[in-house]
Chains A and B, each alone.
Chain A
Amino acid sequence: AQSVTQPDIHITVSEGASLELRCNYSYGATPYLFWYVQSPGQGLQLLLKYFSGDTLVQGIKGFEAEFKRSQSSFNLRKPSVHWSDAAEYFCAVDPSNTGNQFYFGTGTSLTVIP
């Protein structure tokens, strides 16, 4: 079945440590790929997106993500986490590259400890 998988439900990191959040998708062609962040009780904010071209994309707040076609992955990274990064992170795909529908993973909750 077609899906977006975020295998880590919850991750805890120390402030200043590096972070990697995993995302895998199972769609035939290369979809448009996105990462969103959601603070409690709030809507979703776009961190970054990949449509084509350079497979390493830079986003806001110091985040980056790398698209790996061979692994059907689009992992989110940050070299040094700040306490304000604690939130829920969602990977999303647009399989048809048309903007008709976006499919989201179940999210990864990030806790940052001082």
Chain B
Amino acid sequence: DTGVSQNPRHKITKRGQNVTFRCDPISEHNRLYWYRQTLGQGPEFLTYFQNEAQLEKSRLLSDRFSAERPKGSFSTLEIQRTEQGDSAMYLCASSQNPGNTIYFGEGSWLTVV
């Protein structure tokens, strides 16, 4: 069990550019979550997948954000036309069954300049 893996760990991008983050969940975990965390705040829910199906999206997930989990394994989070307000840490988490504990990756830091 290698844990939840996220990459890149850090990304600096210019405003208006697109960025993509990847998350590899713990093997055989069928649920995968994306959260966003800004400085001094707790993680805020963005979206989650049950296998390849995206079951819920937060209002925080604007049209510029898109998440996929095409084969029910790894997931990508893409942010288009980045804005300075997108600067945050993007956390991925996974769980084995509904209602079980979620395990987090180490996060991907995004800085938009």
Interface size of B by CB at 8 A reads 28
A47 CB to nearest chain B CB (Å): 11
Q: Is the CB of B42 within 8 A of A100?
A: no
Q: Please give, as numbers and ranges, the residues of chain B lying within 8 Å of A99 by CB-CB distance.
A: 31, 95, 97-100, 102
B90 CB to nearest chain A CB (Å): 11
A88 CB to nearest chain B CB (Å): 9
A43 within 8 A of B: yes
Interface residues on A, range: 20 to 34
Q: Is the CB of A102 within 8 A of B45?
A: yes
Q: Is the CB of A101 within 8 A of B48?
A: yes
A50 CB to nearest chain B CB (Å): 11
Q: Please give, as numbers and ranges, the residues of chain A lying within 8 Å of B62 by CB-CB distance.
A: none
B residues contacting A by CB (< 8 A) are 4, 6, 31, 33, 40-45, 48, 55-56, 91, 93, 95, 97-107, 109
A residues contacting B by CB (< 8 A) are 4, 32, 34, 36, 41-46, 49, 90, 92, 94, 97-107
